[in-house]
Amino acid sequence: MKSLKPVIHALEIRIRSMRNDPVAQIEAGSTFQAFAVGDKFHHNMFDTSAWHDLPQEGEVFFIVDKAHAIADIGTYIHHLVILCLAAAAPDHLA
């Protein structure tokens, strides 16, 4: 019987475009919650000193795009969730 490989979960944050370089990445041993386009994203727990286009007064980050990348690295599986954020007024979806 084939043994199951461990999975490394990673979350990568990009600002305004999936083509921009990541501003943050974290890894975990278990899966992250489900993210959806349109969700508010609170960035307060990250070191944002290198982030560009931070929300201005009265704005928050929203998830505007997301993608998954899964790779078999050999000894483990790598699951990367990429979130693209953009700042907007909190009621921009109303």
pLDDT of res. 52: 85
Q: Between the CA of residue 78 and those of 19, 25, 35, 72, what are the distances in Å?
A: 21, 13, 18, 6
pLDDT of res. 22: 95
pLDDT of res. 81: 97
pLDDT of res. 50: 84
> Edge-to-edge strands of the sheet including 24-28?
24-28, 7-15, 77-88, 60-72, 40-41
Q: What is the DSSP letter of 52?
A: S
- Other Cβ atoms closer than 10 A to 79: 17
| Whether the predicted pLDDT of 93 surpasses 70 | no
Query: Tens of pLDDT along 31-79?
Result: 999 999 999 999 988 999 888 889 999 999 999 999 999 999 999 999 9
pLDDT of res. 29: 87
Q: Between the CA of residue 29 and those of 26, 57, 76, 85, what are the distances in Å?
A: 11, 35, 11, 24
74, two tokens: 């050999």
What b/e sequence results for 2-23 when a residue is b if at least 16 CB atoms lie within 10 Å of its CB, and e otherwise? eeeeeeebebbbbbeeeeeeeb
State the pLDDT confidence band at 12, using cuts at 50, 70 and 90: very high
